């Protein structure tokens, strides 16, 4: 059988009669040669069973021949989607192009894909199969449109790689319309609530200092000088981290990655040049625009000045010398605070102070909302938040602008009702 040739054989039983499936359809075996294999020293044969009429079998044979002519690797196309998805992710991880958070997210999504399509051959993943998969996973697991869209994005990348490898001719995801993202309800604090939060932070700051001092007095009374950590210092650091978050709108990871060399107390500036992941890995911010310098208010600068002195003194008790690369918001041993531990502290603090459910990231929304509502130009807000361009700031925080809508309407009304009078200028008489 030459390459590309195909044959059709009807499947018969031992009695020589054609076999029918449970739906009364005839069963056919389609065979097509994939050409001479010099390694195995034999012709490759691709087979496929078809249930239906002989015309259906011919249609399948012709489809297989077209795929072969277009360079499709028929053997590879028989691979299960689940195995190929794992291989795809492994290659992406080895390339070093994915962050830890992205790896975790892709791993979770691929796990969901494998539960539904893991055993399906790549060549059998059609647009209809993909569409049915989205419907099923959304109904079974109660997923939002946004989550299904993220699954679609990953599955599309996987199937696109299969196209590159000549496993399939076209990406089935291209013909499936992914659901639109659900509207995002970005909460932010009003000016009154933001002020109330700052008051709570200042109160917690005083209490944390007092508690830390009391603990150290007890340690001195016991003569406990051989220690590897300082009781209570992490509590103060967490409170001050929250204060800086409210003052700058920086992300959690960015705040916790700030070191003393990033703080210019004399000029009231903080440089955001790194971020710490949930796994405790310090890396660059999520975008180049994330590297930025943000001005600080006087009260925040004063709080940090006091903390710098206290931190150096207390950590010095365990032989730790605070340096330029020491985290500003350090743990009990002078290292970085684990972001997950900080989040636990934040939940406890907000619940105790009447802000239950407030996410730390919402301080970022609060910063943008309050500044835009007070007429601060978009470019300044963009720079403080570290957005790549102003359009991102507007798209994410456009809900802040309508707060000035009434004032704008009133101003326009006054202009139309009392148009400015034109001043008549008398020209000098000409001779």
> pLDDT (tens digit, 9 = 90+) per residue, 211-221?
999 888 888 77
Q: 13 vs 220, which has greater pLDDT? A: 13
**CA-closest candidate to residue 133, choices 113, 163, 153, 157:** 113
Please tell me the predicted confidence (pLDDT) of residue 133. Answer: 93
The arithmetic mean of pLDDT across residues 180-207, rounded, is 88
**CA-closest candidate to residue 63, choices 124, 19, 121:** 124
What's the Cα-to-Cα distance from 105 to each of 17, 32, 89, rounded to whole Å?
54, 41, 11
Q: 26 vs 368, which has greater pLDDT? A: 26
d(CA 115, CA 81): 11
Q: 37 vs 240, which has greater pLDDT? A: 240
Lowest mean pLDDT, pick from 58-72, 156-170, 193-207, 346-360: 58-72
**Span 108-143, pLDDT tens digits:** 999 999 999 999 988 889 999 999 999 999 999 999
The arithmetic mean of pLDDT across residues 62-76, rounded, is 62
33 bridge partner residues = 45
Q: Report the 3 state secondary structure along 17-51.
A: CECECCCCCEEEEEEEEEEEECCCCEEEEEEEEEE
Q: What is the pTM of this model?
A: 0.66
């Amino acid at each position: 059988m030459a390459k590309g040739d195909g044959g059709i054989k009807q499947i018969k039983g031992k009695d020589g009669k054609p076999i029918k499936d449970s739906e009364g359809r005839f069963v056919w075996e389609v065979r097509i040669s994939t050409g001479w294999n010099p390694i195995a020293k034999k012709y490759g044969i691709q087979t496929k069973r078809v249930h239906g009429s002989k015309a259906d079998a011919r249609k399948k044979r012709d489809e297989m021949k077209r795929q072969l002519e277009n360079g499709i690797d028929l053997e590879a196309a028989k691979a299960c989607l689940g195995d190929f998805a794992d291989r795809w992710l492994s290659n992406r991880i080895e390339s070093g192009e994915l962050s830890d958070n992205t790896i975790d997210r892709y791993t979770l999504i691929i796990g969901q894909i494998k539960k539904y399509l893991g055993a399906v051959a790549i060549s059998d993943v059609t647009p209809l199969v993909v569409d049915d998969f989205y419907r099923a996973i959304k109904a079974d697991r109660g997923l939002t449109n946004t989550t299904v869209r993220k699954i679609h994005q990953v599955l599309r990348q996987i199937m696109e790689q299969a196209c590159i490898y000549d496993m399939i001719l076209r990406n089935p995801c291209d013909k499936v319309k992914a659901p639109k993202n659900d509207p995002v309800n970005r909460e932010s604090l009003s000016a009154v609530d933001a002020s109330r939060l700052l008051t709570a932070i200042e109160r917690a700051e005083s209490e944390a200092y007092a508690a830390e001092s009391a603990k150290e007095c007890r340690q001195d009374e016991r003569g406990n000088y051989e220690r590897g950590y300082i009781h209570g210092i992490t509590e103060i650091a967490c409170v001050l981290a929250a204060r800086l978050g409210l003052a700058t709108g920086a992300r959690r990871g960015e705040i916790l990655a700030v070191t003393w060399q990033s703080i210019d107390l004399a000029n009231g500036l903080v440089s955001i040049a790194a971020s710490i992941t949930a796994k405790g890995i310090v890396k660059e911010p999520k975008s180049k625009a994330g590297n930025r310098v943000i001005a600080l208010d006087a009260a925040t600068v004063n709080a940090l000045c006091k903390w710098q002195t206290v931190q150096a003194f207390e950590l010095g008790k365990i032989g730790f010398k605070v340096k330029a690369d020491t985290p500003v918001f350090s743990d009990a041993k002078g290292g970085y605070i684990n972001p997950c531990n900080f989040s636990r502290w934040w939940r406890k603090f907000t619940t105790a102070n009447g802000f239950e459910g407030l996410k730390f990231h919402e301080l970022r929304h609060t910063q943008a909302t309050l500044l835009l509502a007070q007429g601060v130009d978009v470019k300044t807000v963009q720079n403080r938040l570290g957005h790549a361009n102003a359009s991102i700031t507007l798209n994410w925080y456009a809900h802040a602008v309508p707060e000035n809508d009434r004032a704008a309407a009133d101003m326009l009304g006054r202009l139309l009702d009392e148009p400015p009078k034109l001043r008549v200028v008398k020209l000098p008489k000409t001779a």
